[in-house]
Amino acid sequence: MAGKQRSDAPSVSRIKARFISPWPTADADGMRRTLSTLQQHERLRASHGSVDERKRTPFDLETLSNTARPLVLWRLSAPAWEGTVASQPRPYSGLSLSYEAPLADSVPTIWSELLTLGNELRPVFGFVHLALQPIKKKAQDASWAGFSTKLFDFFDFGPPGCFAASWYGPELSAMIGADRLAAVGAEPRRDGSSRIVLHPTPWTLTGDELFDLQSRANGVLGASGVLGDYQSRPPEPGAKWKPIPRKAGP
């Protein structure tokens, strides 16, 4: 029947972004840089922020920049999201955003804005991923493996594999190798970093189709021995991964 949607038509139930950047957010300048980069995007801009997840205080850049503590952020207007900023004394910081049940017509804009944000944050590594239906349960679990990697897990085990969009900083890109990155369609950047976008409009795919693209890319990149295995419990480091010391040197 005309106009009737297929029961197996692709749909997006969640969009998540995770960026690990080389800015120490326990330092006011590092936190301000992270937040300012986010806030310059009108369609991403946080409306509220707090050190207490129970208190949605109107966003104030200077107050939040000087907290030297982890933050919870919210955008209450459409497209709404909830996020966090990790507070780290080392030169790494984590910014995470989560869109739950985004409206279908907002997904292309969210995707475009997050790709731009990722470029501007210059992450050591970063990801944007979509929860797509339909997808088999086993593929769903594998598709998200490592996405919520704790910062110290990254230090110990290495980065996870590809998501719908992935960024690797200059050092990680060099470790993976230009030939492998080129083989999966990575975009090289001037600073030696790279970005991989598995499909320009991933919301048009089913979850199984996106996972198939991930699997192919991870098969190529995994040969570098750099990627961690986050489907194992506990995670296992890549064969050639050298753990990053958790504390700054003497």
Question: H helices within the chain, ranges in order?
Answer: 28-39, 61-65, 107-121, 137-143, 151-157, 170-176, 178-183, 207-221
Closest by Cα among 114, 144, 88 to 17: 114
Instruction: Evaluate if pTM is beyond 0.75.
Output: yes
Does the pLDDT at position 76 exceed 60?
A: yes
Closest by Cα among 236, 128, 227 to 180: 227
- Do 35 and 57 have their domain in common? yes
Half-sphere exposure of 77 (CA within 13 A, CB side): 7
What are 23-75's pLDDT values in tens digits? 888 889 989 999 999 999 999 999 999 999 999 999 999 999 998 889 999 99
- Do 119 and 153 have their domain in common? no
Chain-centroid distance of CA 244 in Å reads 20
Residue listed under structure tokens 């290495």: 158
Does the pLDDT at position 248 exceed 50?
A: no
Does the pLDDT at position 249 exceed 90?
A: no
Q: Report angle CA 79, 81, 87 to the nearest 5 degrees.
A: 145
- Return d(Cα 17, Cα 115) in angstroms, integer: 9
Per-residue DSSP letter, 105: G
**Is residue 247 very low, low, confident or very high in pLDDT (cuts 50, 70, 90)?**
low
- Do 114 and 177 have their domain in common? no
Residue 245 lies in a domain: no
- Residue 8 has a pLDDT of 58
Residue 3 lies in a domain: no
Domain containing 69: what range?
10-123
Residue 132 lies in a domain: no
- Do 19 and 56 have their domain in common? yes
What total of structural domains would you count in the chain?
2
CB atoms inside a 10 Å sphere around CB 141: 12
Residue 159 lies in a domain: yes
Closest by Cα among 52, 42, 46, 109 to 75: 46
